Amino acid sequence: MNRRAGEIHARHFGAGPDVVMVHGWGMHGGVWRDFAMRLAEHFRITLVDLPGHGRSGLIPGQSLEDWGDALLGMAPARAHWLGWSLGGLIALQLAHRHPTRVASLTMLAGNVRFAQGSDWPHAMAQDMLEKFAGDMLADAHHTLLRFLGLQVWGLEQAKDLMKELRGRVEECAPPEPDALRVGLNLLRGTDLRATLAQLRVPLLLLIGGRDRLVPRTAGRSMAEMAPRAQIHEIAMAGHVPFLTHEAECVRVLEDFWGRHEPGA
């Protein structure tokens, strides 16, 4: 696979209102595949690969804004944005800075802050994220596999889900080590609570009730910061509801997007 520096890879398919889908840390756009095909029955889907992930090359910038702007260059003029996990952080920052480009924002298993703090308990333990950072320098591949394991831990059919996730991740070459480092640093150091409170586009928070990385309390606390937000919790879902509860996710998203199309 040839990755060209500064080049962001995107795929487009389907027809209808535009939707941009942004994957999480260590993944690539192919992780959405079956779910995206369901959505493409009524929407025009753009799947992007984050910098240094999938078929995208590295970019010079390493900030949340840099990564968001790189994706914006491959996006339709105006679209619904769906960000999963780290992708939700990137899409939230982008929606805040470029509201005319974003018809709506959905944060799927997303959080405004992924690291716990004294005033934000709704996240991963700081020492866990620090351990991931240290382990990644020694063995990026096995660290990524451990992260995948956390996403399905405690769920029914966890073994099958892990196999499916791993298979999809390994359809592409491993992410660039520098991209993994930047992405993990964004998860460790980003706090977008103030940004969320100022958001001017329609927001859907799609949360898994059994998510080990984003506790259900995060969704409720985020909804309090953004009173106009819609929140939908899937009680038995973990961090990958688009795999475990595909039909429910499709139904909720189609309803939300339909209500926020021009003229709806």
What amino acid positions are annotated as catalytic residues?
85, 211, 239
Judged on CB neighbours under 10 Å (0-12, 13-18, 19+), 226 is middle
Please work out, in degrees rounded to the nearest 5, the angle formed at the alpha carbon of residue 83 by the alpha carbons of 160 and 28. Answer: 55
Share in percent of the chain as helix, strand, coil (round to 5): 45, 15, 40
Strand partners, 108: 84, 206
* H helix runs in 117-202, sequence order: 126-138, 140-152, 158-169, 177-189, 193-197
Q: Which residue has 């952080």 as its token pair?
A: 89
Query: Which DSSP category does 43 fall into?
Result: S
Kindly report the number of other CB atoms within 10 A of residue 27's CB atom: 27
Angstrom CA distances, 210 to 5, 99, 235, stand at: 38, 32, 7
CA distance 167 to 58: 23
Q: Which residue has the tokens 């595909």?
A: 246
The tokens for 227 are: 């009173």
Q: How many CB atoms lie within 10 A of CB 250?
A: 16
